[in-house]
Amino acid sequence: MVNLLELQLEEITEIEFNCSCGQYHEVNIGNVRIGKGVLGEIPEILSSYKGKKLLLVADKNTYQIAGQQVIEIIEEQFIFHTFIYEEDHLVADAKSIGRLLMEIDNDTEFILTIGSGTLNDITRYISAKTKIPYAIIATAPSMDGYASTVSPLIRNGVKTTFKGVYPIAIIGDTEIMKEAPMHMLQAGLGDVLGKYTGLADWKMSKILGIERNEPYCDNIANLVGDAVNKCVNAAPNLASRSDDTIDAIMEGLILAGLCIGLAGHSRPASGSEHQIAHYIEMIFLQKDIHSKWLHGNKVGVATLAVLEAYDYLFSMDIQDILSKGKYKTFDKGEWLQRIERCYGNMSKQIFALKEKELLVEAEQRQKRVELIVQKWDDMKNNCYLPLPSPEEIRGLLRETGAIDSPSELGVDRALFKDSLMVAKEIRNRYGIMQLLDDLGMLEEVSEHITKKYYGDNEQ
């Protein structure tokens, strides 16, 4: 039996096994090189492409950070041409994808990209479509998507997840990554902190027996937990930008990404906190709001809010909750209106999704509440109690200088409360926010958390 916790990161990049959870897990990334000076290993990593045609991709920032260095390393042994995106705010949309496609020659055999989230998402998608393999030279430990197989891309103004491929190599030179802007390093930490609540939500769905097609695995959950601990231990030194700290955060992010691959879905790395962050991202996109804050900065803030939600609910007694009878007062009409107001032309899709899973019919809701009562202690002991407190995580974010409130993200009171209320509707993935809804407490808890940040003022 494979013990994932005993393996080094390099050993988990290519692994397949029958797991004690009853599933078969596999992941296959050729190379993950993280450390000081690993950029020099590019010729060896890409040795089978020597003399073949490469496309080197960067944007103007990442080119400035590492472009020249990479060119010096590859210029003698590889044939390549360089493409640099000139946009100030590069987004992973049809335009950026089309632009890169135009740079690919018929005889291009490899794409080498210098960048982080957006450039990796664009290249991964192109690589999957063209079957031309790629490697990523990471410029910041800012998100967990390096070792992922999906690309979130913007289609018609809506963020949609597309299938991609693994890079054949992830090259994370700490000498380069530690020079990244501080909010990018903090974003990496934020994305990792989100795994706390993501794992709690996943476990909750297991306990309630509603994992749907995202089966739970203890081994994977423990591995993610281990990655989170490594990052959290290193985090207080983030400001020093020491090699060890950058190394630990990058390893945690890659490990989390690998766990998505092992599980075959993103549950190990994404729960209510990601849904809230995604909802805010979606609204920003609609309103054409560009801010410097990255996915991970939003996830960090949302994680705190979700920890508050766990704290509020599980500090209560389930019998007290039941005796108030609020779970019986769900108003389907009100719910429909809210979805329409918040999701606009996406609402039809959402209604269909929720109707199918019967989350809104009275009889189903009653059954769900009975199940919740039955499993309350189990959820409290195994989902809530292992979580850090909101104060701990707020302290950690502040210690690293990271933002910790939605207003710092540029989110106003109404949007924040909406995000708590409706972010969960985007898919059928059970977690704390749906649990609150099932118990008739979503409004109460969302208002409670919103008040903490914005005070009493309703408007």
Question: Could you list the residues that contact Zn ion (CB under 5 A)?
Answer: 19, 21, 23, 191, 217, 219
R_g of the chain, CA atoms, integer Å: 22
∠283-289-292 over CA atoms, to 5°? 115
Find the shortest distance in angstroms from Cβ 23 to Zn ion.
5
Which residue, 112 or 256, is less far from Zn ion as judged by CB? 256
Contacts for 173 with CB less than 8 Å, ≥ 6 apart: 35, 36, 37, 38, 39, 66, 137, 138
Find the shortest distance in angstroms from Cβ 161 to Zn ion.
12
CB 368 within 8 A of CB 263: no
Find the shortest distance in angstroms from Cβ 426 to Zn ion.
15
Which residue, 92 or 100, is less far from Zn ion as judged by CB? 92
Chain center to CA of 291: 18
DSSP summary character for residue 400: T
Helix axis angle for 413-422 and 272-286, nearest 10°, is 130
CA dihedral sign of residues 68, 151, 248, 251: negative
Q: Are strands 158-163 and 169-173 parallel, antiparallel or unpaired?
A: unpaired
Find the shortest distance in angstroms from Cβ 293 to Zn ion.
13
Instruction: Tell the burial category of 292 from Cβ atoms under 10 Å away from its Cβ (0-12, 13-18, 19+).
Output: exposed
Find the shortest distance in angstroms from Cβ 220 to Zn ion.
6
Which residue, 132 or 249, is less far from Zn ion as judged by CB? 249
Would you call 217 helix, strand, or coil by DSSP?
Answer: coil
Q: Report which of 407, 418, 404, 394 is spatially closest to residue 454, judged by C-alpha positions.
A: 407
Which residue, 13 or 219, is less far from Zn ion as judged by CB? 219
Which residue, 23 or 242, is less far from Zn ion as judged by CB? 23
Find the shortest distance in angstroms from Cβ 296 to Zn ion.
6
Find the shortest distance in angstroms from Cβ 256 to Zn ion.
8
Find the shortest distance in angstroms from Cβ 32 to Zn ion.
18
Which residue, 189 or 435, is less far from Zn ion as judged by CB? 189
Which residue, 21 or 373, is less far from Zn ion as judged by CB? 21
Report the C-alpha gap between 153 and 149 in whole angstroms.
13
C-beta pairs of 16-20 under 8 Å, 24+ apart in sequence: 19/217, 19/219, 20/218, 20/219
Which residue, 23 or 405, is less far from Zn ion as judged by CB? 23
Q: Could you report how far apart the first and last alpha carbons of the chain are, in Å?
A: 57
